[in-house]
Amino acid sequence: MNIIEVKDLKKSYYDSEEPTHALCGVTFSIRKGEFVAIMGPSGSGKSTLLHLLGLLDIATSGEYIFDGKKISSYSGDELALLRNKKVGFVFQAFNLLARTSVLENVKLPLSYSDVPESEWDKKARAAVIAVGLGERMSHQPSELSGGEKQRVAIARALVNDPDVIFADEPTGNLDSKSGKNVMSIIQRLNEEEGKTIILITHETSTAEHAERIIRLVDGVISTDEKVKKRLSVNDEFLK
């Protein structure tokens, strides 16, 4: 079953006299539980595509079907609810609240959900433990390493139990060891919990943790192919 289908998706920006065509008609589908990496040079359209797929922006034209329903049929409020319940985001810059504990950072998406407040603490704690930071619950971001901050971001993305996790350059600000640890968690979420993962990266070594790589050039798909030998990483650091 496909969770995402896009047909001739286009996006243009009109900030100047001449429009900028960021996406020039892309068509593909992503199966539920699939791990897909999207690659491309700067300006290729991969960030624009992420924003469209993650329901953060609206296409200029084309069709986007998410979990069997056309996105164009949703109201603004319905899109916001869908984004909160069905989608999780992990960004390169972590985007954590500086003077707020790990636990409270992870709780944040719950405040916009229909989950009863009485369950927030339990759900947030479970998400923090799932990424191996059970002993860091009360720490603030300034007390964490880069890798730990990204693991908090992953816990925050998980707390509403989304169907799809979008990871935008999740290892971009990390050293090699921390990057492997983060990819270990992301790959485990896909393999063991069946989460659909859409990874934006410029690093081939990171992309090869996926099952499939879509490459963009100048707003169009240049290649869309299965990964011949998928990389694996150990997660002994979680034990």
- Helix and strand element counts for the chain (H, E): 7, 10
What is the structure's pLDDT at 16? 72
What is the structure's pLDDT at 239? 43
CB-based contact 82:75 (threshold 8 Å): no
What is the structure's pLDDT at 233? 62
CA distance linking residue 179 with residue 30, whole number of Å: 25
What is the structure's pLDDT at 190? 93
- pTM recorded for the entire structure: 0.91
Please give the average pLDDT of every successive group of 10 residues along the chain, which has 239 residues: 96 85 96 96 92 94 95 90 91 90 95 90 95 94 94 94 94 89 92 94 90 96 91 55
